Amino acid sequence: MKPQIITFLAPKGGAGRTTAVMALASVLIERKESPPLVIDATPEARRERATNTTLGRWRRQMLQCGVPPGKLTVRSAASDEGLTDIIDKEGEQRFPNFTTILIDTGGRLDDLALNSAARSDLIIAPFTDLLTAHRVSEALDEVDLCGTPVYGLRCGDACDEAEHDAVSAAFTAGRLLMHGLPSSPLLADISDGGHLLSMYIALTCDYAHYPLGDPARAPIKGFIKVRSEIDLLLDEIYLALDGFELRRRTPVPRRKLLPLHKLAELLQT
């Protein structure tokens, strides 16, 4: 079985691509499934040593948090040939080491980003607000993505339910994922914090001296909510890979109960 390839593509800096890659990879590792392969196809990976990039620093933090080296692999792809070699090497194996490949791209639709999209089973386009959703959608509409399914991912302020209808109308390049990546100080610092599980344990220890009902424990509750949303997002992405789509339920008005004498009249007829 070949690995499933997911490319995070958005021609806009600060859209949430790298944060989404790190958060989803962290959850995959915590679930103790087959470890993910993360490919760094950003301009930073071409300029810096692999250990000095954002993903390289994050991997170092993950290892310091206790993640075994074999559970997280980050490789840099500085060219189309390098990307092809990494993907082909995994695809040719009878029993691949990874079932999921996550590709992080840069803020421009360069040849390497488009090649990543062409080799993917799914393209995820993150954005953080209504205007970014419109710009990302316009840019993706102008390029050939080789028929790969495109899903928009709401990040940060775009996760506000009040903005859902407007964001859905602005993102026209593909479907919109129901679940998103909410705004969180811990997610903003994930490259320095490392594993989500370790960040939760550290947060719990910091607020352990407060009673359970104390409002001071709000950061813990907020993190649990964010972590649950990431779990649901990952499940939705796997459904999309299998060709399924989640849709919002339309509330059906509850029918009024008929009085007994009305019901008796209907039975007689």
Mean pLDDT of 185-207: 79
State residue 233's pLDDT score: 93
State residue 268's pLDDT score: 64
Query: Which of 30-34, 45-49, 61-65, 200-204 holds the top average pLDDT?
Result: 61-65
3-class DSSP state of 182: strand
DSSP letter assigned to residue 66:
T
State residue 15's pLDDT score: 81
Mean pLDDT of 205-226: 82
Q: What percent of the chain has pLDDT over 90?
A: 23
Angle at 55 between CA 96 and CA 19, to 5 degrees: 100
State residue 183's pLDDT score: 82
Q: Is the pLDDT of residue 51 over 90?
A: no
State residue 236's pLDDT score: 93
Q: Could you name the CATH architecture of 4-244? A: 3-Layer(aba) Sandwich (3.40)
Give me the residue spans of the domains in the chain: 4-244
Alpha helices in the chain (DSSP H): 17-30, 43-47, 54-64, 80-91, 111-118, 130-141, 164-170, 185-188, 190-193, 196-206, 218-241, 260-268
DSSP letter assigned to residue 120:
-
Q: Is the pLDDT of residue 256 over 80?
A: no
The model's pTM: 0.85
Judged by average pLDDT, the poorest of 87-96, 153-162, 165-174, 232-241 is 87-96
* Among the listed residues 120, 239, 122, 130, the one whose alpha carbon sits nearest the alpha carbon of residue 179: 239
Mean pLDDT of the chain: 84
Mean pLDDT of 183-194: 78
Judged by average pLDDT, the poorest of 81-90, 212-221, 249-258 is 249-258
pLDDT digits (tens, 9 = 90+) for 126-177: 998 888 888 899 989 888 888 889 999 998 877 777 777 888 888 988 899 9
Give the whole-angstrom CA distance, residue 92 versus residue 85.
Answer: 10
More confident residue, 94 or 170: 170
State residue 252's pLDDT score: 61
Model confidence at 248, pLDDT cuts 50, 70, 90, reads low
How far is CA 180 from each of CA 45, 195, 254, rounded to the nearest angstrom? 26, 19, 30
State residue 120's pLDDT score: 92
pLDDT digits (tens, 9 = 90+) for 22-48: 999 999 988 866 788 999 999 888 888
Give the whole-angstrom CA distance, residue 14 versus residue 252.
Answer: 39
